[in-house]
Chains A and B, each alone.
Chain A
């Protein structure tokens, strides 16, 4: 019976070595695949952002609504708060002067020739120091 222990241990060792060999052999035979990353790159035209003014006092702020539900009501309240808190600020709710600026993109294109760029030009015509725009819904 005493001789059986080392025999058993040698057996276990051999089994472990065998398993290790099988594993390394499997790793060695695992295929090597040359794959293409499908994500691709994104197109960017870098634009320079300008810092905001230290104060909005006496400045012109244009509010642009994207036509989504309640965005106009939200911006109207922002206009009230700006007027109340910032001395001499001039607020332009652009959609009230030019409703086409709040049309959704696909509805806008047939109505506003030039699409988003034309809308941007119209907003720029107010010479804003800042534009606050609602996005999404």
Chain B
């Protein structure tokens, strides 16, 4: 209900006529759902015929820049506690966002502090560069990290990505940020051994992701219980990695996404499941990719409520360098990898229809043996990590990944 109210307010309505029907709606028998309709009907009929909106209107209260400032007397720990109590954090201690620190952070970008990156759903909170810098301070970031944070925010707020869907769904979506290009080494973004692990050398990965998650959650007002994710996702604290481009025998993820080769970029995904493929024996592409494809099908196909209808949605396969090498040594191209996974991650329609209780999909109705990918290009492939026979499949909930170049946000030298 809080989420619904936040949504109609953000869309400009001071109030709305509604009836709340308690969960569950899905996964119950027809007679049960009809009984819920019977129970809700009197209230629905009443508001359908008697509701009058209040005279109140939702007004733009003030300008988005500069942000409100206030004076606080206390220690750094007290300030962190205050931010926690006001719902401005991810639950971990933060660095107090003093005006002085935020101004220092802003030196990391050529963007003006009042520039608007976008409106963050579901609240439609206006995200300015100043606010992004504020969260960068709170997360423990340094000025040189700010351009990556700004580029990530721009990518997430691209309407094609549908952050409103990701922040309001019951799915456990967590933001994954993949970094490509020279910026990885310049900032020390981890892409080798333990690229996604907490690490003494992984500060950039930790603080960039933390800043992005906090700003989206707080400015967008999508913290639980307004974020409706049934269980949530621990990756929502931070999930940032570079691509191990040196170990990638094909096009980098950024180039697959349309970026110029050699550009510093971020690509954002919404990750739902993280499936490790522990494969030590295979020496050929087919024997290596076959079990991966068969693992993907149940995760993204049989455990999913609907088929992918969007042609632009992409899941992500993160190949470990040794697995990538095994495939490339046999002369396989990136396109062959995508085609192989597409062809071998199929689900029989009769199996699909079991969990749908016979209900036809809303798209791709003519496919009898349905790939869980909308097309071969529906699988993004990248290389990351260090030595070992492991690759990870990231089920992205089929949100469309967006790539943004970082350099336009960097401070001019």
Q: Which residues of A contact B (CB under 8 A)?
A: 27, 30-56, 61, 67-71, 73-75, 77-78, 81-82, 85-86, 99, 102-107, 109-111, 130, 132, 135-137
Residues of chain B with a CB closer than 8 A to A30's CB: 73-75, 78
- Which of chain B's residues 168-226 have a Cβ closer than 8 Å to chain A? 168, 170, 215, 218-219
B330 at the A/B interface (Cβ < 8 Å)? Answer: no
Q: Which of B20-28, B147-155, B295-303, B381-389 sits within the interface?
A: B20-28
Report if A105-B25 is in contact (Cβ < 8 Å); known contacts: A37-B67, A52-B17.
no
CB neighbours (8 Å) of B407 from chain A are none
Are A104 and B165 within 8 A (Cβ)? yes
Give the number of A-B contacts (CB < 8 Å).
215
* Cβ-based interface call for B98 (8 A): yes
Q: Return the contact of B218 from the options A35, A39, A56, A137 (Cβ within 8 A).
A: A39
Instruction: Answer whether A44 and B124 are a contact pair too, CB < 8 Å, given A34-B71, A74-B37.
Output: yes
Question: Across the interface, which residues of B come within 8 angstroms of A70, CB to CB?
Answer: 25-26, 28, 33
Contacts of A67 in B (CB 8 A): 362
Among the 9-residue stretches B43-51, B236-244, B254-262, B286-294, the one with 4 or more Cβ atoms under 8 Å from chain A is B43-51
Interface centre among A41, A48, A104, A111 (most CB of B within 10 A): A41
How many whole Å from A100's CB to the nearest CB in chain B? Answer: 9
- Taking a contact as CB atoms under 8 Å apart, the answer to whether B67 and A52 are in contact is no
Closest to A50 in B: B53
Once bound together, how far apart are the Cα atoms of A99 and B365, in whole Å?
A: 13
Does the CB pair B219–A40 fall under 8 Å? Answer: yes
A38 to B126, CA, bound (A): 11
Report the minimum CB–CB distance from B125 to chain A (whole Å). 5
| In the bound complex, CA of A71 to CA of B25 (Å) | 7
Scoring B residues 368 to 405 as 1 if CB is less than 8 Å from chain A, else 0, what string do you get? 00000000000000000000000000000011100000
Which size bracket describes the interface of B in this complex? 35 or more
The answer to whether the Cβ of B60 comes within 8 Å of any Cβ in the partner chain is yes
What are the residues of chain A within 8 A of B253 when measuring CB–CB?
none
> Does B231 lie at the interface of the complex (its beta carbon under 8 Å from any beta carbon of A)?
no
CB<8 Å pairs between A and B, sample of 10? A30-B73, A38-B83, A38-B135, A40-B126, A43-B124, A46-B59, A47-B12, A49-B13, A49-B15, A51-B53
Query: Out of B4, B83, B127, which one reaches A135, CB within 8 Å?
Result: B4
Q: Which residues of B contact A75 (CB under 8 A)?
A: 37
Contact A110 B310 (CB under 8 A): yes
B15: which A residues are within 8 A, CB to CB? Answer: 49
A48 surroundings in chain B (CB, below 8 A): 57
Given that A39-B218, A41-B125 are known contacts, is A99 also in contact with B67, CB under 8 Å in the complex? Answer: no
Contact of B37 among A32, A42, A52, A78 (CB under 8 A): A78
A44 interface neighbour in B4, B9, B21, Cβ under 8 Å: B9
Return chain A residues, CB-CB under 8 Å to B62.
41
- B residues within 8 A CB of A106? 162, 165, 310, 313, 398-400
Contact A45 B12 (CB under 8 A): yes
CB distance from A59 to the nearest CB of B (A): 9
Cα–Cα distance between A59 and B239 once the two chains are bound (Å): 52
Across the interface, name the chain A residue whose C-beta is closest to B102: A36
Q: A33-B71, A136-B4 are in contact. Are A69 and B27 (CB under 8 A)?
A: yes
Q: Are B10 and A42 in contact (CB under 8 A)?
A: yes
Neighbouring A residues of B69 by C-beta, 8 Å:
34-37
With a cutoff of 8 Å between Cβ atoms, the chain A residues found around residue B130 in the complex are 36
Residues of B within 8 A of A37 (CB): 67-70, 88
Q: Which residue of B lies closest to A86 (CB)?
A: B45
State in angstroms the CA–CA spacing of A109 and B278 once bound together: 37
A97 to chain B, nearest CB (A): 15
Q: Is there contact, CB below 8 Å, between A33 and B160?
A: no
B4–A102 CB distance below 8 A:
no
Residues of A within 8 A of B215 (CB): 38
Query: Complex formed: what's the CA distance from A48 to B58 in Å?
Result: 10
